[in-house]
Amino acid sequence: MVFRYLHGPVFGLGIVLFLLPAAPGTSAAQELSLNYESLSSLEEPLAAEIGDITLVLTGLLDTSMSTGSEHDNAPDAGLIGNAQVAALAQLPNSWRVSLTYFGQYATDAAIGLRSDEQFIDNGAISVGSAWGTLLIGDVSGIVREQTRRRRGAGNGILAFDDVLGHLDDPGAGYHGRFGPWVVSTAVDRDGNLDVGAMFQRPAGNRDYRITFRATDAVYRTADGSGRFDTRAVTAVAEMIYGSTTYDAGVGLERLTTITRKLDRWFVSAGVRTKTGVVGISVGAHFGRIKGQDEFSAATGLQYDIARGLSANLGFNHARADAAVDGASLMQLDESEAVVSIRYSF
């Protein structure tokens, strides 16, 4: 579960952020998503009022069939179901408080999982005012969600498109809007830090978005053979013209131990467009760590059948084999085709 006792640097940061005076601006708190997974609902949330409390619900159900190298070329059926519910209220002093919970269940054959766990949940408590929002709970991914490239359409999921280092939960965070700028930060109980900023503003018949992110965190290899301290910087540029989104991201990351120092760089780019009821995305990623390459590509298609109901297709490929002094950093060689029926609400 998620609402655990916080102490040490996390609690201290929360008090400091709460007491620090903010610079004047036209900032307004925004509700943040605790869904850090590959699939998220695109529909407007369902809402209901109970007294002075507003309940907001979003979620999806996705049943899929996939085949490829990771499935020994035999079709596998998968199921993902996730939902986020928030209880929102406004205090007499105009502060906004919320209690948010996200949960996801997935079978082993489901696509795009961050871990081998079948059930994942996140939760957070937040207090917001004109100066921004403070959060406590499972907030390790809020900066990533604010600064990332857009998710692909349908079942197009681009592998490796992030820094390796990440924060642990629980933690504390801040999120605020100041004119066209949105700033966010998160810190975990070990003092690892994630900071991001986003600028978004229309110009003519186009909309432009630029994000920056700096991360000081930890990377643990999947096989448990190594633990690295990481420092990384990333940037994303995006342009929206009509129903088409073009974006690209770059990143630099340094992984260190007492005896090792490794540098990783990567670049990702993609296009997402929609014509009528059909949405299509294409993306590619290339990176290198200590002379060893990583590559991924993804194509996705979504066909809207009715409000919230869609048929989805995806072709995904990922290849990486990076090892240093017996520590396996990334080891993956997979290609898959996925078709699914999804209902978002």
What pLDDT, in 10s, does the model give residues 168-183? 999 999 999 999 999 9
Percent of the chain with pLDDT over 90: 69
Q: Is 107 exposed, middle or buried, given 0-12, 13-18 or 19+ CB atoms closer than 10 A?
A: middle
State yes or no: pLDDT of 18 exceeds 50. Answer: no
Alpha-carbon gap, residue 318 to 284, rounded angstroms:
10
pLDDT of the residue at 72: 60
Alpha-carbon gap, residue 127 to 113, rounded angstroms:
30
**Residues in contact with 241: Cβ distance below 8 Å, sequence separation at least 6, in sequence order:** 205, 206
Q: Where are the beta strands (DSSP E) in 179-243?
A: 181-188, 193-203, 206-220, 227-241
State yes or no: pLDDT of 2 exceeds 90. Answer: no
Tokens 């995006």 appear where?
Answer: 238
pLDDT of the residue at 74: 67
116: left (phi over 0), alpha (psi -120 to 50) or beta: alpha
State yes or no: pLDDT of 90 exceeds 90. Answer: yes
Who has greater pLDDT, 18 or 269? 269
Alpha-carbon gap, residue 236 to 252, rounded angstroms:
12
> Is residue 69 very low, low, confident or very high in pLDDT (cuts 50, 70, 90)?
low
pLDDT of the residue at 183: 97
3-state helix, strand, coil in the chain (%, to 5): 5, 60, 35
**In the predicted model, what is the mean pLDDT of the chain?**
86
> Is residue 282 very low, low, confident or very high in pLDDT (cuts 50, 70, 90)?
very high
Give mean pLDDT, residues 23-51: 71
pLDDT of the residue at 102: 96
Phi/psi at 55 (nearest 5 deg)? Answer: -100, 130
pLDDT of the residue at 73: 60
Who has greater pLDDT, 88 or 27? 88
Give mean pLDDT, residues 123-136: 95
Q: How many CB atoms lie under 10 A from the CB of residue 284?
A: 16
Percent of the chain with pLDDT over 70: 85
Please choose, from the candidates 219, 244, 223, the residue with its C-alpha nearest in 3D space to the C-alpha of residue 160.
219
